[in-house]
Amino acid sequence: MIASPLGVPSCFGPHASGGRVLFIGSLPEPTTGQSLACKVFLDELQKRYCVDVVNLSKASFKQGVNSWARILEVLKILRHVWKSSSTADVIYFTVSQSLAGNAKDLLIYSICFSRLDRMIIHLHGGAGMRQLMRGSFGLTRRLNEFFLKRLAAIIVLGQRHTDVFAGAEHQTDMQIVPNFAEDFLFSHPEQIQAKFDQTLPLRILFLSNLLPGKGYTELFESFAALSPLNREMIQIAFAGAFESEAQKIQFLSLIAPFPQLRYHGTVHGEQKRALFSDAHVFCLPTYYPYEGQPISILEAYAAGCAVITTDHSGIFDVFADGINGFAVEKRSVADLASLLHSIVEDPSRLRQIALNNLKAAHCHTTTQYNSRLMQIVGKVRAETRA
């Protein structure tokens, strides 16, 4: 059971012996990489602990506080945290990356000040928090460091994010827990072999929320820049949610002249698995300001896809150019178009890359992800009980 900020907590007697955990994080809907990761871990956490849930999700993809309704939601969140934190053995908290979101986080730190030594924060992004901690926000950085030094643990996605909180890690336990691909997305080597027996048309998948900076417009423009002959040799599937209906309508009008391009909407379950399984190449040329370590890239590995992406945020912690796929310059339509042309002309490398990616994905399962997080929670609980 998942409670709303003022709902009945998901805390039941059979789990009480495991202790109490206050879970503060974003949960579907909407589905994002962060909300999926939170849901996967919450399901595991509830098997062992009595869990009180504070859901940070909001209806819009827009970062920050953008309406009076959101301000009211934040006040309800703060009230729930205030009521629940005093009885928690461990507090697990997924932090924000926007300036307004960080202001909310600072208030949560303040409410939980006497129990910061049992709080674990989990940074699911990286690029946005780096800007907050390393940019021109001097007061914001100092306020965050004041609280961060008092935490039990900080979790980041990869080595490239360990310096985001420089100034706090010498007193706080820093842990790396990479993201995952869900079990149902894993293909078998035989399925991948069969898929690459026929690479014309080359099937490319873009699966992510279609937000500014994710690179979906650059992918479209790169396709449009190809010769008519090359365009006939490519099919591109787009899937995910838009930030607004107007952006969706605008994109649909762009792709309408090209029957090789199709928008599938928001996909889950079997439809998502089928899109990944069918694709030869997964393309995420992202420069999204709040990017972390995209789960969709690991999902593409599990499904046996070669990957096209960028050296952005923590991606290169799990991606190597020429081994897992191909890196392109951020925002460069010309670079991406040139790569698409070369792949269409010679797709021979894709099969081995896809098989390598399947092997890599076996290091990124939900079981491994949950196990690492549960070890951190168990350690903090044991230390607070000592």
Task: Tell me the pairing of strands 234-239 and 261-263.
Answer: parallel
Q: Is the peptide bond before 28 cis (omega within 30 degrees of 0)?
A: no
Q: Is the dihedral of CA 345, 349, 355, 358 positive or negative?
A: negative
- Do 306 and 380 fall within a single domain? no
Cβ proximity of 186 and 358 under 8 Å: yes
pLDDT of residue 30: 92
Residue 6 lies in a domain: no
Tell whether 4 is covered by a domain. no
3 within a domain of the structure (yes/no):
no
- Are 381 and 314 in the same domain? no
Residue 279 pLDDT: 98
Q: Which helix (H) or strand (E) holds 21?
A: strand 20-25
The order of strands in the sheet holding 234-239 is 261-263, 234-239, 202-207, 281-284, 306-309, 325-327
Residue 137 has what pLDDT?
77
Q: Any idea what DSSP says for residue 178? A: -
What range defines the domain where residue 295 resides?
A: 183-361
From residue 308, give the alpha-carbon distance in Å to each of 19, 240, 316, 321: 44, 18, 12, 9
Per-residue confidence (pLDDT) for residue 2, from 0 to 100: 39
Same domain, 174 and 296: no
Judge if 269 and 234 occupy the same domain. Answer: yes
Structure confidence at residue 55 (pLDDT): 97
**Within this chain, do residues 132 and 203 fall inside the same structural domain, yes or no?**
no
Residue at 121 is within a domain: yes
Q: Are the C-beta atoms of 149 and 173 separated by less than 8 Å?
A: no
Q: Are residues 168 and 209 in the same domain?
A: no
Residue 8 lies in a domain: no
CATH number for the domain that contains residue 48: 3.40.50.2000
Residue 325 domain flag: yes
19 and 133 part of one domain? yes
The number of distinct structural domains making up the chain is 2
Please identify every stretch of the chain with a pLDDT value under 50, giving residue numbers as ranges. 1-8, 12-13
Q: Are residues 357 and 369 in the same domain?
A: no
- 192, containing H or E segment: helix 189-195
Q: Are 155 and 295 in a shared domain?
A: no
Q: What is the reported pTM?
A: 0.93
- Residue whose structure tokens are 């199709």: 262
Q: Tell whether 142 and 205 lie within a shared domain.
A: no
Residues 214 and 280 in one domain: yes
pLDDT at 5 (0 to 100): 41
Over its C-alpha atoms, the chain yields an Rg (Å, rounded) of 22
Same domain assignment for residues 167 and 270: no
pLDDT of residue 7: 42
Is the separation of the CB atoms in 261 and 201 below 8 Å?
no
